[in-house]
Amino acid sequence: MDFDAIVIGSGFGGAITACRLAQKGQKVLILERGREWDKASYPRAVEDDWIWSHSHPEKYHGWLDLRVFKGMSVALGAGVGGGSLIYANISRVPPPTIFANGWPAEIKFSELAPYYATVGKMLNVQKVPANQWNPRMKLMREAATKLNDLNRFETLDLAVTFDKDLQYDFDQEPDISKSTMVPNEFGVLQGKCVHLGECDIGCRVYAKNTLDKNYIPSAVKKGAKVWPLHFVVNIEQIDGGYCVHFDRLADGDRIPGKATATRVIVAAGSLGSTELLLRCRDVTHSLPRLSSQLGKRWSSNGDFLTPALHILRSLWSDRGPTIASAINYLDGSQNGKVFWVQDGGIPNVLNKYFEAVSDRLQKAPNEPSWLETLAPHVILQHLALFSESHDLFRHIMPWFAQGVDAGDGELMLTDGSLDLKWDLSASLGLFNEIAAKHKQLAESTGGIPIPLPGWALDKELITPHPLGGCNMGATSADGVVDHKGEVFDYPNLFVADGAIIPRPLGVNPSRTIGALAERIAALIAV
């Protein structure tokens, strides 16, 4: 065998299992489809590599993988560090009630508690210092007070390094020079948060405690190899282990290759792992005994967004950590629906994008060929010019939420491509309840809610928190993997990411994915 363990994907599931297996002395290889990113390469300009293309990954292997299905789109990160590169850093342990049903008997809140603690420590989670609350956090607290729900207001644990001595006035542009880089406890250079509002597009001061700043370097220190731009296309069972087939993405080409290992950990995320295993079962037939449950019980984790215009307030939704506080209705007190509301931020991406469009328009106003690549360019052009003169995001509050949806989606292959069967009916009550709460909260603080056109006109949703597809279960009749993440009927083949979470969590999932990955790695005897 080339390696003791091959880990596919380098997000929460992959980085954590790779790190722990390397620390157990295993010879580990991480295969990651995306590239390594740093502040010199984060996408900013219109022509930068924003998008991951499924039809031509050899040419377009950008930062964001946006998958559009009927009724539901899914946003994912692509790169060494997976979703941590692009995420809003919320690291939340769900309430114990979430473990009351839907899990194998072994997975209990008390069982996961030590693993939750370990992940929190590794990601150095902390809250925004009291002297740096942004205007959206204050608006959240005010809205909770107006609704008599102040006891439900909470500030969130974020995987961000803050500087408690920083003085920052949100009416000023953030000052990048106020952050200095020092080595973190893993020996990697990181700065502290100066509220750039760049959490979702790559933090230029490295204040985010992303996986490439902790777990991955710890794995590398113990000898793990990381091969970026290696897109795994098949897993084959061989004597004593598995052969992993990949395409290396180089110079605009897909160059086939393979590597073998005794143990394989699939950690390509809810969509990535499920798609890969569906292909192995139904297209290449290399893993034909995978459970019939594969793809089933997929959840959007109840994500919902209502932007509101608070014209008389300066909210600066594009400054500060993307999200930093919540109003907690996870107790089911709102007509039985389980959810929480968060202060969404508008990642500085849109601002930057509009700035870049506007810049380009001024430099080359009559460049139709370039404009035509932007669809619908006329709207974009107007938005860009409007945002330049009106501080578009100063008065916008993106009221955000997650909740417990019906968890009844199904991932499948249609004509060889990943597809999602998403039926809104059983989850509609949750989304309506959240929309009503968003309206109440916005209006109680002088805001005008503006439901997203996709939802208002066509009940279209988008989630950054896909869960399930290779669910944990007691047997292969009700799951794809067991409580240890091991695939039924395939010893030493594991899934260790958001795909194994068998039900919606109602809160941001990365901490739970991390805790499960820690547990999976801890239970692997080497």
Give residues in contact with ligand FAD (CB under 6 A). Answer: 8-14, 31-34, 75-79, 82-84, 86-90, 200, 231-232, 267-270, 272, 276, 323, 464-465, 497-498, 508-510, 513
Show the tokens assigned to 36. 């390594």
What gap in Å lies between CA 448 and CA 53, rounded to an integer? 36
| Closer CB to ligand FAD, 323 or 441, in the complex | 323
| Pairing mode of beta strands 304-309, 396-403 | antiparallel
Nearest-5° angle of CA 120, CA 159, CA 333? 75
Smallest gap from residue 363 Cβ to ligand FAD (A): 30
Eight-class DSSP state of 33: S
What gap in Å lies between CA 502 and CA 469, rounded to an integer? 8
| Closer CB to ligand FAD, 307 or 509, in the complex | 509
| Closer CB to ligand FAD, 58 or 497, in the complex | 497
What gap in Å lies between CA 113 and CA 330, rounded to an integer? 19
Bond prior to 288 in cis (omega within 30° of 0)? no
Eight-class DSSP state of 132: G
Smallest gap from residue 517 Cβ to ligand FAD (A): 7
| Pairing mode of beta strands 64-69, 72-77 | antiparallel
Smallest gap from residue 253 Cβ to ligand FAD (A): 17
| Closer CB to ligand FAD, 241 or 509, in the complex | 509
Q: In what order do the strands lie in the sheet with 461-463?
A: 64-69, 72-77, 461-463
| Closer CB to ligand FAD, 361 or 403, in the complex | 403
Environment class of 90 (CB within 10 Å of its CB; exposed 0-12, middle 13-18, buried 19+) = buried
| Closer CB to ligand FAD, 371 or 500, in the complex | 500
| Closer CB to ligand FAD, 14 or 473, in the complex | 14
| Closer CB to ligand FAD, 12 or 488, in the complex | 12
What gap in Å lies between CA 323 and CA 197, rounded to an integer? 10
Smallest gap from residue 378 Cβ to ligand FAD (A): 27
Could you give the 3-state DSSP secondary structure of residue 137?
helix
Smallest gap from residue 496 Cβ to ligand FAD (A): 8
Eight-class DSSP state of 286: S
